[in-house]
Amino acid sequence: MLLLLTILFGSFDHSSFKSIYIFLISFFSNTFSAISGGGAGLLQLPALILSGVPYYQALASHKLATVALGIGGSLRNHKSLGNDISVAWQILIFGLPGVILGSSIVEFISEKYLYLILGIISILLAIYSYLKPDLGLSSGNNSLNLVHKIRFLIFIFLIGILNGSISSGTGLLVTILLIKTFEMDFLRAISMTFFTVGIFWNFVGAVFLARIGSVPTNILIVLIIGSFTGGYFGAHLSKLNGNILIKKTFITVCILVGISLLIKSIKSFL
């Protein structure tokens, strides 16, 4: 038996194992991300860095791969966008400048403070969602006055800056912001997040980050396949099981992302 295993493992080179490992990480992380509305970077980005990919290249690769996540999720849940196209335009028009700004200054800012802030916010989001049992379980159509609309657009711009400079958690922020601002349910909010953040924000961020260093093509192809299939499968599961599963997964992912970012921040300060 040992001899057979030795022959089997010997027939694969190191790059094959690396590709399989990255695909599995990508598939499962994006499956959970598709259900919760964000958090793919929790597993995918560290996996790339542990594979020997430099941080900025890993971040650019991750963002390009999450475009495939956004496409996969949007294809499965595109009907959930419904009549929210005007909201999508607001997120794109005011969020993309923030993404460009964040991607442009990522080389010049200290990540440890961003990790600390976003980690705390993610954990607070989980606690808030848990304490609000009805949050995101039903869908409405909230009309915004001028003050609320301006506040929403400012938050979108600020989240865009975070999206351009950090990988984890910004999709979760947009999801909960849509739920609170427009009284969307989780499925509707996550569909909007896929379409705007997953596809457009991450593509623009990846293009700007790719200027820092070339993106490894072989790894990128594996990531895109894993992200697309994971995104589609996760969106399928969320549609089958509804908002209760999505909310539970959202809370879990928020806590895990928050803890992960706090650990990164603490390590940076030491």
Domain residues of the chain, as ranges? 24-269
Half-sphere exposure of 42 (CA within 13 A, CB side): 30
The tens place of each residue's pLDDT in the chain, 270 residues long, gives: 434 334 433 444 456 777 788 888 888 888 877 777 676 776 777 777 767 777 667 777 887 888 888 887 777 666 666 678 889 999 999 999 999 888 777 667 666 777 787 788 888 888 888 888 777 777 677 777 889 899 999 999 999 988 887 766 788 889 889 988 988 888 888 888 888 988 899 888 878 776 665 666 777 888 888 888 888 888 877 777 777 777 888 788 778 878 887 887 788 777
Predicted TM-score of the model (pTM): 0.78
**In sequence order, which residues have a C-beta less than 8 Å from that of residue 111 and are 6 or more positions away?**
165, 166, 264, 268
